[in-house]
Amino acid sequence: MSFEFLRPSAEAVARSPMEAQALAAGAQMELRDGWNVAVAYPGAPPAGPAWVDSSHLSKLEVAGAHQLTFGMASRIDGAWWCPVTRDRTLVIGGARDVAVDHIEVTTALAALTIVGPLAREVFARFCAVDLRPQAMPVGGFRPASVARTPGYVVREGSDRFLMLFGWALGEYMWTVVADAAESLGGGPVGIDALDREVARA
């Protein structure tokens, strides 16, 4: 059976479940690769931790045995290959077409990237996962309870974490992260700011 109906189409605008909140925060939106994404916000970047709506990232679930190391995500061709179980891998980002059988879960999981020196502090306010470098180094991957819902966390950089959670919980999760981050002087930033950070690194 074809599962084509799971896959977002380039023929129609795709939107994050957190778009309304991004707009309320003053987001400047642009259409990129079929997705209406928040590329920037007015004013200076926040002094504290920042969060970015990364829900447009492709996500695929690959079934079958693998050689990946549990607890770590592997960076392959621009994508994170994350071993969830012995025979299930979550592939985040990168090209949409992978040369193995997979299930499209791009719109089953929304995503927020949390960055900045206080990023761990933000997580600590709604997630019990040990994100200290000795427990979760760069590339670390954890299926976890995030704000009391099933999710995943990838440590993409020393101060950068990618968090995935159920698509239907987008509004809730934005509220949780905003509540946690704003008290630390944080705020949302657009994906262009994230790309600039990657370029600097």
88 counts as binding another protein under rule CB under 8 A = yes
Q: Does 139 bind another protein (CB under 8 A)?
A: no
H and E: helices and strands count for the chain: 4, 14
Torsion of CA 83, 63, 113, 109, to 10 degrees: -140
34 torsion bin: left (phi>0), alpha (psi -120 to 50), beta (else): left
Total binding residues for another protein by CB under 8 A? 31
Site string for another protein, 143-172 (x = CB under 8 A): -----------------------xxxx---
Tell me: does residue 97 bind another protein (CB under 8 A): no
CA–CA gap between residue 69 and residue 84 (Å, rounded): 10
- Considering the complex, what minimum distance in angstroms separates the CB of residue 175 from another protein? 17
Q: Which is nearer to another protein, 98 or 103 (CB)?
A: 103
Q: How far apart are CA 111 and CA 156, in angstroms?
A: 13
In the block, tokens 């607890």 appear at 71
Site string for another protein, 42-81 (x = CB under 8 A): -------------x-----x-x------------------
Q: How far is the CB of 108 from another protein (least distance, A)?
A: 3
In whole angstroms, what is the distance from residue 19 CA to residue 133 CA?
Answer: 32
Structure tokens, 105: 């879960």
Rank residues 109 and 131 by Cβ distance to another protein and give the closer one.
109
Judged by CB under 8 A, the residue of 21, 22, 35, 187 near another protein is 35
- Most distant CA pair in the chain, distance: 50
Residues within the interface to another protein (CB under 8 A): 2, 4-9, 11-17, 35, 55, 61, 63, 87-88, 103-109, 166-169
